[in-house]
Structure 1
Amino acid sequence: MDNRDSSRLKYNACAMCRSRKSKCDRKQPRCGLCSRLGKDCTYSAMRKKSGPKRKVLEELETRLTKVEELLEEKGTSHMLPTPSSSQLPKDQPNMPMSETFRMPSSESTRFELSMFGPMQPHINGKEAFQASHTLFPLIPGNSSNSQSSSIGLAFREQLPSEDMIYDLDNIFFEKVYPSIPIIHPNRFLVNSSLSAHLHLPLSLRYMIWCHAALCCDRYYSFHSEFYQRARKYAEVDETTESFGHGIVTLSHCQAWILMSIYELRMVLLPQAWVSVGKASSLSLIIGLNQLDGPSQSVKMCMPPPKDWVEGEERRRVFWMAFCIDQYASIATGRPMLIDETDVCAPSLDYHDVPMALTDCTQIMTTLPAFEQSFLENKPQRTLQLCEVFASEDLSSLSSLAYVCVSASLLGRSLSHTRQIQTFGNDCGLDEQYWKQHQSYYDIPIRILQRLPTHLRLSRSMHDTNAVFANLCVHASTIWYHQQAIFSSKMCRVLDWYMMGNHHRCLLAASQITSLTRMIGDFDLLKCNIFVPFPLFLAARIFVLHLESQPNDLTIRSLLQYLVSILKIMKSRNPSAGMFLSRLNVSNAPAS
């Protein structure tokens, strides 16, 4: 045997051992296996080439060419870029995490977090984003999948594990849904489980997971990543889904509502203003503001609802868009998009303001029904917003409808404030203005007097919407009287009138503090994200009072209590920190 043959034997097995995938002892003239089987022991002259077959390579080259053509058509060279630090939300103080931050275990280890070591007590948004990209890698998607095509390329991110999705969905409907009940729980869970025929946009699903992550220590560090992905998918849908017409859906409107609520909560005010505008515009484009108007005058962009529950869900989506439009206007100081009085506002008769207010609304969608009726598909007749201010019987008013009424009161008080500001420093307010102011002030009083039993706090202590609505009604009272004091100073009205308004402000602020004490054990995670605002108004009244009477220990005690509540809330609701910074408690004179 020459050197070439000995070298070949050193590295190769005989043909029989290779076919049986057995270890060859390379004995000559026959190896052990061939000797036992009585077979010829032969060696191949050349080693078998490793690697893919030429046919496979040709197929891969063809697919790569198609991907390159798609890239040229879409005008982009890459997909899903990691946002720069300027695109990420500002760092917010996070809640302390537990030492062992682990995902639900499964056969796959792609969600194993031990690589990060013990969790630090604070994780900023950028770190969470980078960590999440490690956990949720990009994978090839099916080009026939509607979700894949909506991104513009045949790639999409790996969704969280089924265990994680299950947890986040349950957390959302347990802790977030009570204050944002715009998605029917059972129907959503059924639709989201039909992965083969998924009709829910990924922007909506990611925003649901984002809000759920905010309420849970275990997944808290992922809320920024979920928000970034939701916004990316929503913006991509605007340009790739049928030239933008594909976004005119109820699900996209729900996604933008959840997005704007998150941005208001995290004090991302410019983004929130844009998102609120998109949510409100979509609700108006779809025609959600005229669901219960005359059919011949309503132009719908969606097919009629299949049943009463679907119609009620649309109704709730519109009214939530209406509410966040009011809240965003208060938080940012910018005008409202949905103005309930913009149709015939120029013809308002200030001598009969209550009647004018009930006749000038452009909203022809009735208020939301009771929660039980919505969940159990029990049709219910509800009131129009304008009917609430005129009706004596409010027994059909649900807690969510009460929130809408309170948002309307806050919006009107804001419009009233801007009306005063247009006069400047000189007194241009006439008798009609003062009559209008008195009628505005009477509306919250009449509503509180006619409030049905199920909406009074003695019976609704565990209803997040009823609690929040009561706080907002008292907040609107404070706002009206504060503006009356400001107007009185402009017009040099008698001091006794200003003292009367100041006393009513103190009374409403004390009511807000009392309500907050009554719900002291309430889960703050289930509260409306705008709860800090009425607390801020009440605390500001106390600060102003202490400037003139610094020795009032009772008011000082109430102020300290409200400040402590706002400090507790700001750890999970940064908007509370924003209101707290505007309060200037340090300027209140010490006793």
Structure 2
Amino acid sequence: MPDTGHESSSTAGRMACAFCRRRKLKCNKELPKCQSCLKFGFDCEYVTPGTPGGMKKLEGERSSRVRQLESRLGRVEQLLRAKNQQQGQDSTALSSEAGAVKAESDEVSIDEVTATALEHIYFEFVHPAVNIIHPERYVQCRPPTYLQHAIYAVSAAITEEYSVHRERLYKSSRKLLQEAELQDRKLDSLSLAHAQSWILIAFYEILQGYFHRAWMSSSRAVRLVQMMKLHRIDAVLQTTDPSLVLLDAAKDLTEVEERRRIFWMTFLMDRYSCISMGWPTLIDERDIRTYLPVSNEAFANSVSEQRLFLSQAKSAQEPEHISTFACQVVLSSLCGNKLSELQRFDPNVPATQPLGNAWLKPQRLNDPLTTIFCVPQYLTSRPSQLNPASVFLDFFAAATTICVHRAAQSQVREDPVSAEMIAQSRKQCLEVSFGIFRLMEMTCHWDLRVFYLCFPFCLYNAVTVFASFWLEQQVDLYERPLRFLLKCIDSFKNMPLATILLADIEAEFPGLIDRLNSSVGQEGSSDTSQFSAPIQLQAMDNFSASGPSLDMGFTDDFGDIGNFDQLYGAETWDIDDSILSTMGALPPSNFDTWNNSLEKGPDL
């Protein structure tokens, strides 16, 4: 039996060890180490009350422990204080940076001299193409800031001198316009300036190559003009609920015409999206009861002119009273309708015509493959009245013709047609492409800013035609206009749109530029140059967009300008059928005839 009494007597006068006292643990007071110190591996020290200096030693240990804790707490406080200071500096920097960005976006301002110059550029060069603002009314009644910034942005986009301001002005216009719309919950303050701003913003986005943004912006303009009932300004019966009328009645003839122009420019933007991107149109022509726009001169001078509806202008064989603006509307309508029909075709969907007419299905593509859009004779380009408006109409008619033919040719596999029909289609595309080439030759000395904003797209369509022919047959008849038009597109390089179009050409015809340059090196031709040295389109001094002049001494290899009326008169100029031998559509003719056609150019 163990001697428990001896053990109890040996530990009876002993206090708990220092470790157990500090930790508030139960100490068994064993020697040389208690159970707790043995378990945790600490030195076990006993201090008895009777030991000299024992309590002082214990108090010293306590004070040392307190000092250690205070020191550790002090270091923790220092670390927390330093971290808080760093976070405060970061937050201050972020807030100051955000404030700077906000100030930059909110406080976009330009000096009065620059603003005046940009307004002059707009009304001199942009206004003839996007004629939706009356100049005198603009000066008399200053528009909202978002409309001003939209005007400035488009002007800066076509002028290298002020190009540094264009992106800031564009972003400011969008931001201010969206804020104005958000603040107007019930559309009580909806005005024409909203639609005008979205139209100009969409044009700017096209120039910068922001195509998806552009069509979203134009779609907003479409809904705005429809909400304001601008598509039914001249309807005989107004069945709209009066509580839904968002605009007051127009005060005078000028304001009515301005509303018409806003609607029709929105219509053009809607059709441009269909022509260039293949997207469905948003405006149904059956809902339109608004007269076509009158001439720019009548609008500027507040003069009344004879007016037509779109349906009337399209049904007329030779409309006698139609403006250049209205002619552009008609051409875009005709082209958009034909493209929409082609886009809706699905070979997997049964035809809607009766079974007895099923044999007519192969004729579906005959209409688009034989289409040529023409400009009324009194609006077409003439040497005596050559101006940007008439030149653009001829360009636009040719470009829309090419668009329809290319869209139809892409569906030949699903809906076969005869080889003669394809050959005739390509021949017509070549004819209108030569028209673009000759017109550009005679106007290449103009100031680039007078060319309407869609000129590069028209040039692009002609280049695709000449490129396809030249890749099949490397002859000067195709190579010369191809080089010239490529350099003309490159001359618009201050517009990102032109750069994108050149990239699209290179993607559609890989290696085209390299082959053109290598052909020059092989032939050593002196009358052609590398694509890397683009044509210089020189600006004319004191040039006016409303009345450009033409150097009557201009000549080229195909003859002088005096024969221009023979090319662009009432009859379309033709190309000899021997040229079709290069297409593979007709049997090759003898090379003597072919060489003769190269020497004299296209037969007229």
Q: What is the TM-score of this pair, normalised by structure 1? A: 0.64
| 2:139 paired residue among 189, 212, 235 | 189
1:324 and 2:266 correspond: no
Q: CA deviation at 1:177?
A: 0.8
Q: Tell whether the 8 Å contact from 1:410 to 1:472 is kept in structure 2 after alignment.
A: no
- CA distance, structure 2, for counterparts of residue 260 and residue 316 of structure 1: 16
The answer for the alignment partner of 2:527 in structure 1 is none
Q: CA deviation at 1:326?
A: 1.7
Q: CA deviation at 1:385?
A: 1.3
Q: Which amino acid aligns with 1:306?
A: K
The answer for the alignment partner of 1:371 in structure 2 is 296
Q: Tell whether the 8 Å contact from 1:427 to 1:490 is kept in structure 2 after alignment.
A: no
Q: Which amino acid aligns with 1:478?
A: I
The answer for the alignment partner of 1:485 in structure 2 is 409
The answer for the alignment partner of 1:534 in structure 2 is 458
The answer for the alignment partner of 1:334 in structure 2 is 279
- CA distance, structure 1, for counterparts of residue 370 and residue 309 of structure 2: 19
Change beyond 3 A, Cα 1:512–1:339: farther
| 1:277 paired residue among 194, 212, 219 | 219
The answer for the alignment partner of 2:57 in structure 1 is none
The answer for the alignment partner of 1:170 in structure 2 is 120
- CA distance, structure 1, for counterparts of residue 359 and residue 390 of structure 2: 36
The answer for the alignment partner of 2:320 in structure 1 is 395
Change beyond 3 A, Cα 1:173–1:253: same
Q: Tell whether the 8 Å contact from 2:372 to 2:428 is kept in structure 1 after alignment.
A: no
1:581 and 2:503 correspond: yes
Change beyond 3 A, Cα 1:442–1:296: farther
1:545 and 2:490 correspond: no
The answer for the alignment partner of 2:445 in structure 1 is 521
Q: Which amino acid aligns with 1:312?
A: E
Identity of aligned residues (%): 25
Q: What is the TM-score of this pair, normalised by structure 2? A: 0.63
1:556 and 2:479 correspond: yes
- CA distance, structure 2, for counterparts of residue 409 and residue 81 of structure 1: 51
- CA distance, structure 2, for counterparts of residue 496 and residue 176 of structure 1: 43
The answer for the alignment partner of 1:307 in structure 2 is 252
Q: Tell whether the 8 Å contact from 1:238 to 1:246 is kept in structure 2 after alignment.
A: no
Q: CA deviation at 1:206?
A: 0.6
Q: CA deviation at 1:265?
A: 0.9
Aligned residue pairs: how many? 412
Q: CA deviation at 1:267?
A: 0.8
Listed as ranges, the matches of 1:176-575 within 5 Å are: 176-192=126-142, 200-241=143-184, 243=185, 245-246=187-188, 248-298=190-240, 300-340=245-285, 361-420=286-345, 422-423=346-347, 437-439=365-367, 444-445=372-373, 447-448=374-375, 451-462=376-387, 464-549=388-473, 551-569=474-492, 571-575=493-497
Q: CA deviation at 1:541?
A: 1.3
Give CA deviations for 1:238-276 in whole Å, capped at 9, x if unaligned.
1113x1514631111000000011011101123212211
Change beyond 3 A, Cα 1:393–1:543: closer
Change beyond 3 A, Cα 1:568–1:531: same
Structure 2 unmatched ranges of 5 or more: 1-94, 520-604
- CA distance, structure 2, for counterparts of residue 470 and residue 326 of structure 1: 18
Structure 1 unmatched ranges of 5 or more: 1-76, 85-129, 139-155, 193-199, 341-360
Q: Which amino acid aligns with 1:557?
A: R
Q: State the SS of the aligned residue for 1:219.
A: helix
- CA distance, structure 1, for counterparts of residue 214 and residue 432 of structure 2: 29
- CA distance, structure 2, for counterparts of residue 530 and residue 285 of structure 1: 28
Give CA deviations for 1:479-532 in whole Å, capped at 9, x if unaligned.
233234333343443322221211111112111212222221232213222222
Q: Which amino acid aligns with 1:223?
A: R
Q: CA deviation at 1:452?
A: 3.8
The answer for the alignment partner of 1:16 in structure 2 is none
Change beyond 3 A, Cα 1:560–1:247: farther
The structure with more radius of gyration:
2
Change beyond 3 A, Cα 1:439–1:270: closer
Q: Which amino acid aligns with 1:269?
A: F
